Chain A
Amino acid sequence: MSCCAPGAEGAMDNATLPSAEELWLSSRALGDGLRQSDLSVPDVYCGTCITTIENALKKRPDVARARVNLSTRRVSIVWKEDVAGTRTDPQAIVQAVADTGYRPHLFQDAEAGNDALRNQLLRAVAVAGFAATNIMLLSVSVWSGADSATRDLFHWISALIAAPALVYSGRFFFSSAWNALKHGHTNMDVPISLAVILSYAISLWETMHHAEHAWFDATVSLLFFLLIGRTLDHLMRDKARAAVVGLARLSPRGAMVIADNGERNYRPVEEIRPGDTLFVAAGERIPVDGVVVAGASEVDWSIVNGESLPQPAGEGEKLLAGTLNLTGSLTLRATAEARNSFLAEVISLMEAAEGGKARYRRIADRAAQLYSPVVHLLAFTCFLAWGFLGGDWKHALMVAVAVLIITCPCALGLAVPVVQVIAAGRLYKSGIMVKDGSAMERLAEATTALFDKTGTLTLGSPRLVNAGEVGDEALRAAAGLAVHSRHPLSRAIAAAADAAEEFASVSEIAGGGLEARDGRGLWRLGSRNFALGDRAVAGSSQMTETVLSLDGREVATFRFEDTLRPEAAATVRRLQTEGMSVGILSGDREPVVAALARRLRVDRWMSALDPQGKVKAVEAAAEAGEKVLMVGDGINDAPALRSAHVSIAPSTAADIGRQASDFVFMRDSLSAVTEAIDVSRRAGRLIRENFALAIVYNIIAVPIAIAGYATPLIAAVAMSTSSIIVVANSLRLNRFSDHVRAAGEPAKPVHAKEVLQP
């Protein structure tokens, strides 16, 4: 156990580790009998963590190399397929990591393309930086009075440096601008590209004609500044995406297939065909839709349909992919391929629901739509006016270019990304991942917040409510039984008891409950029918209950309710006082949803919705002119998360829900929602302030350019000043976040506890 694995002291459950088969399946062959596995280890955060894990791994003979990446919180292990003839058990390697107190798990396939783009951007920044500094050196010499031949030489050298830098570093802007133009609209990259290309062309022409002024420095430093903004923006999204991808996978990668001759093979889900017989152990998720052919268990449907109580599953029961098998092992006959499973239906629903986000136009692009025609028209008018009035067309062209360069949206190009990078960084620190800069713009606009119930407003795990009336003795006896089960109700009893009695042998009867015998008689803990046998009277209570009995006589009845997510009530109230309309969209039964809605004082709620129903509810709200923020976690929420204007999911959400949403929060408290809204709104205000600053700058600078007084020196000074002002203004966001943190709850480190599946 290390000093610094927060929250890792709890019981290390072997079942939470990926199975050996799954590890083989997910590892990459490197050749020479070596394989590489990448695991996510969310707990690591300091140097001791690195050495602890690496040393534990390097001690093993079957590990060739191991390296912890602290930034992405991952460990990559290169292991040998066999050591001295025996096949390596990769689970033992993962267990070695788990034994140090850090919880490793497999994550969704990392997107390899991201790193490549990051490196391309960094290289482009380096090249632009090199070109900008060197050209600036030469320009300073020119400005300080280098004369005819020397000046021409310097201009030519500048031109030579600038050309490859423009092609290499400018391609990001050019291709984006070209794309926008091809589709008949403009974005911020259009005026940028135009200014860069025009100013280079004019400067080259001027150089050929031994002129006094060339704008190479402005051209290249403009690119340099803008690329920095773009790179920061990319790094921010990369970091958030890596954190989201690093969460544990909820859907299984494969399943144990039983062949006709009884042989058991672990196969990837893609290779499972309808008719195959599958074995699903307790604690595993159902890999594909199927019908139970043998076994009895209870199944947790919460992530699939929002149902908060585990449902019994016996022979003939149809189960959907993604549901969690809780108490007993099941044998299933697959009824659909993975790509036709329930999950796949949800995905196609999601694709159909695509809309809210695709329609949204980013604030920078909307600004550019107003900005570029004005600027280009202005430059063109200047050209004509100076040409006709002054008669000197060459000078007229120079003035027009000066106008273009002076107004070039350097500050505008930085106005948005800098603010968003800082805002995302603040949110990241308090455990909220922003997957996209435009998400913050959309969140700031939200007028309606629709919440899912199970797993979002509630934690999806029951809590014992009548511990007081039951009495300590009964609670301890029940806890003694309950610790042997992974059923959520058992876990709640075990968690509520301060101590547990010891029972020699406890057996779990699938679909019933737990049973143990000692000197006092036969203890049973489970459903009323199971515990009391014939004496059971049909319970009328709406609440979830579990009965403890001794020789068939009732000892105690435990009542449960779903735990409300911390600060759920406060969050809902705050949203309401801020004038947002709050609603609940749940797939759960009506009485449960109604009770919760009453408790949270929400009068807008709908129950028993299927995924399609949730999408319809979101779309209806959108048609009524509301900008919907959807907060949800289940597979059944994914299409609604996608169709909403903006969406937030907790880190415990289903894989597909996390992918569909714009924000993912890594902590238990629902106050993440209000914090994300606060920061987004503040960021929106700062962005508008930045735009205002840029406009003020233009109002001052443009007349100078129109009058023909803008030399390259003036342009360089003006452009850098405006950029610095915009960046400095953006930094004010930091002060605000500190203030919020001080007023609200203290920021919690991100614990793996909340990230791991139960």
Chain B
Amino acid sequence: MNMLIVLIPVALGLGGLGLLAFLWTLKSGQYDDLDGAAWRVLNDDDGKPDE
């Protein structure tokens, strides 16, 4: 029973981490150009992102 005290926060925490990661990707504009991103991954330049 005591296990639950640990396991539930861990489970929720991991889920929450995934949620935060998604919100971050959304905020940093990673879904603005899905078609472009699919092509850019094939570019073999020096590999540095813009800016």
Contacts and interface: CB of A to CB of B under 8 A. Distances in A.
Interface in A35-57: 46-47, 50-51
Contact of B35 (A71, A123, A126): A71
A266 B15 CA distance: 57
A661 B40 CA distance: 35
B40 A50 contact: yes
Given A122-B26, A150-B1, A130 B16 contact: yes
A150 B39 contact: no
Interface in B1-51: 1, 4, 8, 11-12, 15-16, 18-19, 22-23, 26-27, 31-36, 39-40, 42-43, 45, 50-51
A69 B16 contact: no
Contacts of A153: 4
Given A46-B39, A47-B40, A133-B15, A69 B32 contact: yes
A70 B33 contact: yes
B33 A72 contact: yes
Contacts of A344: none
Given A71-B34, A71-B35, A126-B23, A47 B11 contact: no
Contacts of A115: 32
Contacts of A72: 33
Nearest to A125: B22
Contacts, number: 55
A134 B15 contact: yes
Contact of A71 (B12, B32, B42): B32
A134 B16 CA distance: 10
Given A65-B50, A130-B19, A71 B33 contact: yes
A141 to B, nearest CB: 10
B50 to A, nearest CB: 6
B19 A47 contact: no
Given A47-B43, A50-B36, A130-B18, A150 B50 contact: no
Interface string A56-73: 000000000101111110
A157 B40 CA distance: 43
Nearest to B31: A122
A137 B50 CA distance: 41
Given A127-B19, A130-B16, A133-B15, A50 B39 contact: yes
A119 interface: yes
A72 B36 CA distance: 9
B23 A157 contact: no
Contacts of B19: 126-127, 130
A248 B17 CA distance: 44
Nearest to A115: B32
A123 B24 CA distance: 10
B18 A47 contact: no
A309 B19 CA distance: 61
Interface string A128-156: 00100110010000000000001001000
A123 B36 CA distance: 22
A130 B15 contact: yes
Contacts of B43: 47, 50-51
Interface string A69-96: 1111000000000000000000000000
Contacts of B51: 65
Interface string A154-168: 000100010000000
Contacts of B23: 123, 126
A667 to B, nearest CB: 20
A133 B19 CA distance: 11
A68 B36 CA distance: 8
B5 to A, nearest CB: 10
Interface string A178-222: 000000000000000000000000000000000000000000000
Contacts of A122: 26, 31
Given A65-B50, A150-B1, A153-B4, A134 B11 contact: yes
A71 B11 contact: no
Contacts of A127: 19
Given A123-B23, A126-B23, A69 B50 contact: no
Nearest to A44: B36
B42 A119 contact: no
Contacts of B11: 134, 137
Given A123-B23, A130-B15, A133-B15, A150 B4 contact: yes
A69 B36 contact: yes
Nearest to B41: A47
A67 B42 CA distance: 16
B35 A70 contact: yes
> Which among A46, A68, A126, A127 has the greatest number of chain B C-beta atoms within 10 A?
A126
A70 B36 contact: yes
Nearest to A48: B39
A126 B42 CA distance: 29
**10 cross-chain pairs, A with B, having the tightest CB-CB distances, nearest first:** A47-B39, A70-B36, A70-B35, A69-B33, A130-B19, A71-B35, A71-B33, A126-B22, A134-B15, A47-B42
Interface of A: 46-47, 50-51, 65, 67-72, 115, 119, 122-123, 126-127, 130, 133-134, 137, 150, 153, 157, 161
Interface of B: 1, 4, 8, 11-12, 15-16, 18-19, 22-23, 26-27, 31-36, 39-40, 42-43, 45, 50-51
Given A71-B33, A123-B23, A134-B15, 7 more contacts: A50-B36, A51-B45, A69-B32, A122-B26, A126-B22, A126-B26, A157-B12
